[in-house]
Structure 1
Amino acid sequence: MFKVPKSKKFLYLGVVSERAAERFGDTPITLDHDMDAFPEAGRKLTVAEFAGHVAETANRLWAAGVRPSEHVAVHKTSSFDITVLACAAARIGAVPAMLSPHLDGETIGKLLERLERPTLLTDEAKLTGSLAGLPLTALTARVVTVTGSHPDAVSLVDLAGAPERRPVLLDPDQPALMTHTSGTTGVPKLVVHSARSLGARGNWQDKVVSLIRKRETAAMHVSYVHSRMYLGLAVLQMRGMPMVFLNDGDPAHVADMLVRHRPGVLETHPNSFLEWESMLDDPRRPISNVKYFNSTFDAIHPSTMHKFLHASDRRAPVFLQVYGQSECGPLAARTYRRRNALKADGRCQGYPTPGMTKYRLVSRGGAKPSRETPGYIDVATAGRALTYYGEQERFDKQVVGEWWRGGDVGYRTKWGCLHLLDREVDVIPGIESTLEIEDAVLHKLDELTELVVVPGPDKRPVPVVCTRGDEPLDMERWQAAVADWPALGAPVRRRLSELPRTATAKIRRLELARQLAEALTPGETGEETEHEESENTAAEPTGAHAG
């Protein structure tokens, strides 16, 4: 019988559930939807049943012709079965490449080309929809569809009952998983992880979860293609914590699920927490039992943390904010409580973990890194990825010895706390931090559901605002709120659904700036500019950071 490895140094996605099932096989996994590939599984399964689906699917993929070290591009309609498919590919030693369901067909075509004819694991909806115009025969070695049928695809259903295959474990420093960057600056980069780098990230996150003494139910609304999902899934399974995974991020739906399951742990993207503020008025108090809040994808606004912490009825609830990047995993962290969340500097990312992560600040122009002259944030961690697949030179440009330069700029306080001001590409001359402005104004104006400051056509900072219920913006209140930043241009109002987003709900700032350049003329002014919904806006449902 196959012996599942016990070492915590390495994380093999294909067998972690099997290992977890040895102790916690009955631990429940609850979904808010039926899985496309396994509709018979229903919305409640156990860790042991999850492991069984992984093993059975791995057998089918082998029967389809997939072999160790080959690339398997997973790109299908959003559903929890994406995690099963990824782990199944990994179980036979293939390398799953996770491609967001929300990427357009053109981008998928470019990524398939970069992957050099991978197996494409998809569904009928994608094959007849966004992928219909692609030359898949030329771009892939084979296409396997998990639902329906297609003339150029093998049906996963038809492979049921395939002979059992033993797991294949590659060398811990070989590619084991590919995820992609957020795509905020163009076509996403494919980040290559190994069993060793995933293990290092998993150990960091396991230390955090080990501080939760009581067996709490954990609810997650996280992108299924992000490395964070696989690390979270692994840690929760190995700790025997009941899990609830949310596919639909609509606040009303999430509130229903939270009331039904009353989780003690809640994790989602920062922008999702912002959107979910609307559920805090629900008389059923859906947040009342949450003791631990986790947001590990991007900076989160202090006012949002404050509101959620005060919506909990638990004693001393905690909001954990983690700073990191897809290429490196978690790097620094800080906890917030009711007494300090609102007073906190939203740019403070906390401290590195001794013995696991460290950072340094490097001058960008000769001046000592400070708030006024922020420096490059270089980080070092055992969880660093191997490369960008097909773009080694691009990856190497960000490597400085043991350090990784991820493109963020900031400074260190006299207490050693890391402060993140902006992405370097988002820096606007004359503005110390766009993120800081957004934090402050969102705190002052509860009627805003989002605020993003980007450069306009004339490079002047333009605030793009979204309001609750798409109500008109009160310009008197707006002017009072932004009085400290006279350089800001007139606000441009958009619907929340219009904002271009990544798979983790981050705003694609460069794309938003490009859209503004098309919609506005240089120097355009006015009390408020409202832009009608654009057909070209590729907004993703709520629903880079630290994998």
Structure 2
Amino acid sequence: MFTVPPSKKFLYLGVMSQRAAVRHADTPITLDHDMHAFPRTGRKLTVREFADHVSETANRLWAAGVRPTEHVAIHKTSNFDITVLACAAARVGAVPAMLSPHLDGPTVDELLRRLQGPTLLTDEAKLTGDLADVDLGSSTSRVLTVAGSGPGAIPLSRFAGAPERRPVMLAPDEPALMTHTSGTTGIPKLVVHSARSLGARGNWQNKVAGFIRKRETVAMHVSYVHSRMYLGLAVLQFRGMPMVFMDDASPKHVADVLVRHRPGVLETHPNSFLEWEAMLDDPRRPISNVKYFNSTFDAIHPSTMHKFLHATDRDHPVFLQVYGQSECGPLAARTYRRRNALKADGRCQGYPTPGMAKYRLVSRDGKPPTKESPGYIDVSTAGRALTYHGEAERFDKQVIGEWWRGGDVGYRTKWGCLHLLDREVDVIPGIDSTLEVEDAVLNRLEELTELVVVPGPDGRAVPVVCTRDDKPLDPTRWAVAIADQPPLAEPLHRTLAELPRTATAKIKRLELAGLLAVSAPTGGEHEGPSEAPDDPPSL
């Protein structure tokens, strides 16, 4: 077996599982679904079997003509097999470009063209669905299917039994992986990571995992196309932590999975935690054995953390909130406990890790950054990405020497704690922080499952609300809940399914605001809480 001397500085996706299997070959990986690309595997495999799937798939990709430094776009139906495909592409020295299953056809077409003729790894469901009207012949060099078939596509199974290939590892500062930004502000940008930048992020996350003193089962529902998934896989496999990956995020299903496996660690997107509050009343108490909760990707509401921390029987449970961006990785973190989660300021992101990350605040108006006049948050980390593929000038505009200006605004407290108020594009005049308003109101109204404050067609701050079981919102309770908040327009009642979201369940605020502008009544009236229709119009 060919092995590569490991290095803590670099993370090579193509060999990480092979390396981890040297010590933790039998560590279990459990899924809540069958893998499309490996239907005979079932829902239970080991780190060794994962590594074998990566190696076998890499052999097939090479036999299909994929070569080092080429781009391999992976866009298929959501499934854990996406992680195997990405690692396999990396193993032959290609650069996997992860395109979310949630992207629509025109967006995928634009990204494929930006990649300049990549190999596309997909499946029949995508070829006959979102990609049916996309001219793949002009935007790709070849199309390979891992499940089913399609016009002009070659089944990857045709190359089964291909000769074994040794892994190819590019230089540590060469492109190694592409993920895309959330797309909350338009067409996603393709973020280019290297083995060095991934290694720096992995080291940060490995330090965090080091606080888990015993071998705990880790349950995750995380986007398979996000860099966090690959860093998580690396850390968990190298530490020999049993893993459970969930594809179905519906609260009832998640509760069933958690009851079956009783994990000690639970990680998902902030908005998924918010939805999962619905399972906290389950008499089986699915959260009872969780000691560590982890939420990355976006801000999370204090009331949500409070509820989960009080739903477990474990002593001294911890909720970790991490602030970072796709371009720079994790920057700051803060832990919450039962005693302080509800009292905590949800805008507080904590402190950067000494020696690994730092930040500065830069005035936007000539005044020292404060809550009332927040400044740009510039960050410096070893895990900063290389560039935006095909949009280098756009990336470089946000680089200021060692600093990265990501578009968030905030301020520093007298204790040195970083407070994130909003993205600059989401700032609404007259409101210090839309996120702060959302935190406060969600804490006061148990019936809310989501609240997003966006600018309306007339410039006023419009709260868009979702409720449990889509029941009408009580106007009296709403009035009391917002009495001490900045002026808000009448709330618009929508179902959660109507809100445009990213692969990591973030609400696309700009798109939502645009949809509200399109659907606004000509008279400028706003839909009040007592007037929410049984079947609200689509956004």
TM-score, normalization by structure 2: 0.98
Partner in structure 2 of residue 371 of structure 1: 371
Q: What amino acid maps onto 1:221 in structure 2? A: H
Q: Give the aligned residue type for 1:129.
A: G
Name the counterpart of 1:416: 416
CA contact (8 A) 1:21 1:51 kept: yes
Partner of 1:184: 184
Match of 1:141 in 2: 141
- CA apart distance, 1:534: 5.5
Is residue 527 of structure 1 aligned with residue 520 of structure 2?
no
Q: In the aligned structure 2, how far is the partner of 1:261 from the partner of 1:501?
A: 29
Q: Write out aligned runs for 1:70-219 (5 A).
A: 70-219=70-219
Report how many residues are paired.
536
* Cα pair 1:498 1:534 within 8 Å, conserved: no
Q: Aligned letter for 1:289?
A: N
Letter in 2 for 1:530: A
How many angstroms does 1:533 deviate by? 5.1
User: Following superposition of structure 1 onto structure 2, how do residues 112-511 of structure 1 map, counting pairs within 5 Å?
Assistant: 112-511=112-511
- Are the structure 2 counterparts of residues 12 and 534 from structure 1 closer, same or farther at C-alpha, using a change threshold of 3 Å? farther
1:158 CA displacement: 1.2
Output the aligned Cα RMSD. Answer: 1.0
1-structure distance, mates of 2:177, 2:126: 22
Closer, same or farther in 2 for the Cα pair 1:493/1:89, shift >3 Å? Answer: same
Please tell me the residue identity of whatever aligns with 1:198. Answer: L
1:182/1:188 contact within 8 Å kept: yes
Instruction: Give the aligned residue type for 1:364.
Output: R
CA distance in 2, matches of 1:473, 1:351: 38
Q: CA deviation at 1:4?
A: 1.9
Cα 1:60–1:461 change in 2 (3 A) is same
**Unmatched runs of 5 consecutive residues or more in structure 2:** none
SS in 2 for 1:34: coil
C-alpha displacement of 1:2: 2.0
State the SS of the aligned residue for 1:40. Answer: coil
Deviations 1:460-484 (A, max 9, x none): 0000000000001000000000011
Contact 1:421 1:436 in 2 (8 A): yes
Tell me the residue number matched to 1:44: 44
Partner of 1:29: helix, strand, or coil? strand
Cα shift at 1:486: 4.8
8 A contact 2:492–2:528 mirrored in 1: no
Shift, 1:73, TM fit? 0.2
* Contact 2:431–2:486 under 8 Å retained in 1: no
Residue 525 (structure 1) shift: 3.5
**1:184 Cα offset (Å):** 0.2
Q: Deviations over 1:496-516 (max 9, x none)?
A: 111100000000000100111
Instruction: Provide the secondary structure at the position in 2 that maps to 1:340.
Output: coil
Q: Is the 8 A contact 2:460 2:488 kept in 1?
A: yes
Residue by residue over 1:367-387, the C-alpha shift from the partner in whole angstroms, topping out at 9 and shown as x without a partner, is 100011000000000000000
Contact 2:493 2:536 in 1 (8 A): no
Distance 2:295 2:451 in 1: 18
C-alpha displacement of 1:5: 2.7
Given that 1:191 and 1:385 are in contact with CA atoms closer than 8 Å, whether structure 2 keeps it comes out as yes
Q: Which has the higher contact order (CA 8 A, sep 6+)?
A: 1
Aligned counterparts of 1:148 and 1:208: Cα–Cα separation in 2: 41
Query: Shift of the alpha carbon at 1:6?
Result: 1.1
1:252 partner letter: K
Task: Report how far residue 311 of structure 1 moved.
Answer: 0.3
Distance in 2 separating the partners of 1:307 and 1:187 = 35
8 Å contact 1:93–1:170 — kept in the other structure?
A: yes
Q: Distance in 2 between matches of 1:417 and 1:436?
A: 16
Between the aligned partners of 1:464 and 1:384, the Cα distance in structure 2 is 34
2:61 corresponds to which residue? 61
Q: TM-score, normalised by structure 1?
A: 0.97
Partner Cα distance (1:214, 1:149) in 2: 45
3-state SS of 2:359 partner: strand
Aligned to 1:543: none
SS in 2 for 1:113: helix
Q: How far did 1:150 drift? A: 1.9
1:527 offset after TM fit, Å?
A: 3.0
Q: In 1, distance between residues paired with 2:294 and 2:485?
A: 31
Tell me, yes or no, if the aligned pair for 1:498 and 1:533 is still in contact at 8 Å: no
2:18–2:51 Cα contact (<8 Å) kept: yes
